[in-house]
Amino acid sequence: MDIQTRSEETGLRTFSTLVNAFTHAKEDLTVWKISFEVPSGERVRLVRNTDQGDDLNTWFYEPLMG
Kindly list the distances between the CA atom of residue 56 and the CA atoms of 14, 29, 37, 40, in Å, as whole numbers in the listed order: 20, 7, 23, 29
Nearest to 8 by CA among 53, 50, 44: 50
| Mean pLDDT of the region 32-47 | 94
Q: Is 66 domain-assigned?
A: no
Total-model pTM: 0.85
Q: Check whether 54 has a pLDDT greater than 80.
A: no
**Domain span including residue 19:** 3-61
pLDDT band, residue 50 (cuts 50/70/90): confident
On whether residue 21 sits in a domain, the answer given is yes
Percent of the chain with pLDDT over 90: 76
**Chain mean position to CA 49:** 11
**Does 44 fall in a domain?**
yes
* Count of Cβ atoms closer than 10 Å to residue 15 Cβ: 19
Buried/exposed 28-50: b ≥16 CB within 10 Å, e otherwise:
eeebbbbbbeeeeeeeebbebee
Tell whether 35 is covered by a domain.
yes
Domain total in the chain = 1
